[in-house]
Amino acid sequence: MNYQYILFDLDGTLTDPKVGITKSVAYALEKLNIEIVDYSKLDFFIGPPLQESFQAYYDLTEQQVNEAIGYYRERFQQHGLYENEVYPGIETLLETLKKKEKTLAVATSKPTIFAEKILQHFKLDQYFEVIVGSNLNGTRIAKADVIHEVLLQLSSPDKSEVIMIGDRKHDLIGAKKEGIANIGVLYGSVVKRNWH
């Protein structure tokens, strides 16, 4: 199938954010006096919404989740944003797709403002027509909602011409809910078993 509209997830797909995310999660948990017994669990914060991960892995109350996200962002916006690197070959891929006149977009669970800063930092923003993420107030965190907003901003293209590329089950589920095709990547810091 020759897709015209190609949506990319950010974390774990375009860039490897492991250091910045895991250090910021550790900072947040330490602020809440929560002992980190298994540091490998912190890798699971790459990709899904923070609210979901803090709840799932540390059984925090709603108030604690909000506090944890506040602490996370406190460190992330100062340091974590840039403790990140573009996966090898990504820029070449984006250049090639643009030369073929494909319409590219980013659909991420990360807040839009952070996604924009990261893409600007790595000079990747030039390749994308649309960059959409979650809102800082905790809304639009489900991947299906993010994808829906991307499609709206792209003037609602024919869904048979759209594909989502990501590294987590959230990308697959969101794409299916929105009725678009999807591809799962298996490289980088996110373990393969998370793509089901």
Catalytic residue numbers, as ranges? 9
In the chain, the DSSP E strands lie at 5-8, 15-16, 85-86, 103-111, 130-134, 162-166, 181-184
How many beta carbons lie within 10 A of that of residue 46, not counting itself? Answer: 23
Long-range contacts of the stretch 125-129 (C-beta < 8 A, 24+): 127/94, 127/95, 127/97, 127/98, 128/104, 129/103, 129/104, 129/105, 129/154
d(CA 86, CA 149): 25
